[in-house]
Structure 1
Amino acid sequence: MLYFVLRRLLGILLRTFWRPVVEGREHIPREGRVIVASNHLSFIDSIILPLVVTERRITFLAKSEYFTDRSLRNAPSRWFFTAMGAVPVPRGQARAAQASLDTALEVLKREEAFGIYPEGTRSRDGRLYRGRVGVAWLAFAAEAPVLPVGLIGTDRVQPVGARFPRIAKVTVRFAPPIQPKDYAAVAPGLARRQLTDDVIDTIGRLTGQERAPGYNELPAED
């Protein structure tokens, strides 16, 4: 209940001040499990997406520090992620990464929508980095379609390091879902890589971002 009240209130603010342009809304599945895979430019991405996807509730993972940091400075983030039903996860270790995927799989098995950033972490230079195959592992394990999303302008709304959002134009573009069954004839390891690359390529076409040659490494503090 709190989730829907909060989304409605924040949605009013979003439409009033930022008036996001949403394209391709017809591609959003209205029911059933789906992985919402987006580029990642700003902290505010995890706020924008649940607010523009009014058809579904999207569950995101959030680093555990947002929930365990009891400081006054972190209070808005802690309250928001708790209210939006985000799932806290540790970061930085292979075991933690697999635990995150296992948690995501549980969400999808409930026929819900799960949000993921295939690049792994925010792009600090605006380029689109190579995707990590966790998104494909999840798609095959859950037999869930992947909905590619391109976010444009969120890095200007809240640049990395900025404490408060600014007024800037935001565009959200959706592409048709990518179906894991289309890779059934490909060897599993290659299929995971191919599906992931197809998701990133689609996001790149949606955003027009410059492509980076490798992976986006997690900073010490992000």
Structure 2
Amino acid sequence: MADLRRAVLWWGFRALCRTVAGLGRALYGLEAEGLEHLPRTGPLVVVCRRISRVDFFAPALFCTLVRGEFSGITSAMAVSNSRLLASAAESMGILANLKGAGLSAMPLLTAYKMLKQGKILLLADEGEVPWDGRLQPLRAGAAWLALRTHAPVVAGMVHGGYDAWPRWARGPRRGAKLTMRFSEPFHLADRAWDRVTPAMIEAGNRRLVEELATLSRGYMLRRQRVSA
């Protein structure tokens, strides 16, 4: 019965993701670049940079590109505040976490176990959506997971999101072009570490920021705020 429930939930979730991705294609010409870099099986940590209110198109498109199931951590208030949604999400391996709090202990340890089982883990960059679209300082979650498991990491970013709906704008704007870009896989260490030090986290975060900044070149590193 549990397997049937899980299968039905995944079918519904994928149908929703296909619908959202299709809406992104219709409204903003949503497409993906760097798919040749994206492994189709785990273990894998995908860290996506958030810059706008339309970044939800990224996980929807990601869901349509990856074979099999993947896991993730969400700070969506609808999941965090609803026992029904939280239970459904947990059944699918989607973990609820407090918004803006970074990865707390329980979701972090569960995510670690998922990676050890060969899962694909989709993470946001753990901060709030920035008002000006600039890359925010990273917290320890993604780096800790990659260092503990030696899972490869892929960085992701939606180009055009800030043009479509920045945080400060009252509503979305038409005319923007959305492109989901992926980096080549990379490791934060040469092996899995049983003990991860603050210095290792700091070095890992620097590498993550460098990869996210590289994906941002030509778009968010040199942009000026446009009027609402």
Interval containing the TM-score (normalised by the shorter chain):
0.7 to 0.9
Contact 2:148/2:192 (<8 A) preserved: no
Contact 2:47/2:155 (<8 A) preserved: yes
Using the alignment, how far apart are the partners of 2:92 and 2:120 within structure 1?
Answer: 13
Contact 1:130/1:197 (<8 A) preserved: no
Structure 1 position 14, deviation (Å) = 2.0
Structure 1 position 31, deviation (Å) = 0.8
Calculate percent identity across the aligned residue pairs. Answer: 27
Using the alignment, how far apart are the partners of 1:14 and 1:34 within structure 2?
Answer: 25
Name the SS of the counterpart of 1:140 in structure 2. Answer: helix
Task: Give 1:1-222 correspondences, 5 Å limit.
Answer: 1-52=11-62, 54-56=64-66, 57-63=69-75, 65-67=77-79, 69=81, 86-91=94-99, 97-118=104-125, 120-160=127-167, 165-167=172-174, 168-182=176-190, 188-208=197-217, 209-210=220-221
Measured at CA, do residues 113 and 43 of structure 1 come closer, stay the same or move farther in structure 2, by a change above 3 Å?
A: farther
Structure 1 position 129, deviation (Å) = 2.2
In structure 2, runs of 5+ residues without a counterpart are 1-10, 223-228
Structure 1 position 16, deviation (Å) = 2.0
Match of 1:214 in 2: none
Contact 2:46/2:153 (<8 A) preserved: yes
Contact 1:35/1:145 (<8 A) preserved: yes
Q: Which amino acid aligns with 2:97?
A: V
Structure 1 position 18, deviation (Å) = 1.5
Q: TM-score, normalised by structure 2?
A: 0.72
Measured at CA, do residues 31 and 93 of structure 1 come closer, stay the same or move farther in structure 2, by a change above 3 Å?
A: closer
Q: Which has the higher contact order (CA 8 A, sep 6+)?
A: 1
Contact 2:150/2:190 (<8 A) preserved: no
Structure 1 position 35, deviation (Å) = 0.8
Name the SS of the counterpart of 1:148 in structure 2. Answer: strand
Name the SS of the counterpart of 1:45 in structure 2. Answer: coil
Structure 1 position 88, deviation (Å) = 1.6
Measured at CA, do residues 108 and 18 of structure 1 come closer, stay the same or move farther in structure 2, by a change above 3 Å?
A: same
Q: TM-score, normalised by structure 1?
A: 0.74
Measured at CA, do residues 99 and 46 of structure 1 come closer, stay the same or move farther in structure 2, by a change above 3 Å?
A: farther
Equivalent residue pairs, number: 201
Structure 1 position 84, deviation (Å) = 8.2
Structure 1 position 131, deviation (Å) = 2.0
Q: Which amino acid aligns with 1:180?
A: L
Measured at CA, do residues 61 and 165 of structure 1 come closer, stay the same or move farther in structure 2, by a change above 3 Å?
A: farther
Name the SS of the counterpart of 1:14 in structure 2. Answer: helix
Q: Deviations over 1:28-68 (max 9, x none)?
A: 01111111112111243233233145332543322363236
Structure 1 position 69, deviation (Å) = 5.0
In structure 1, runs of 5+ residues without a counterpart are 71-77, 212-222
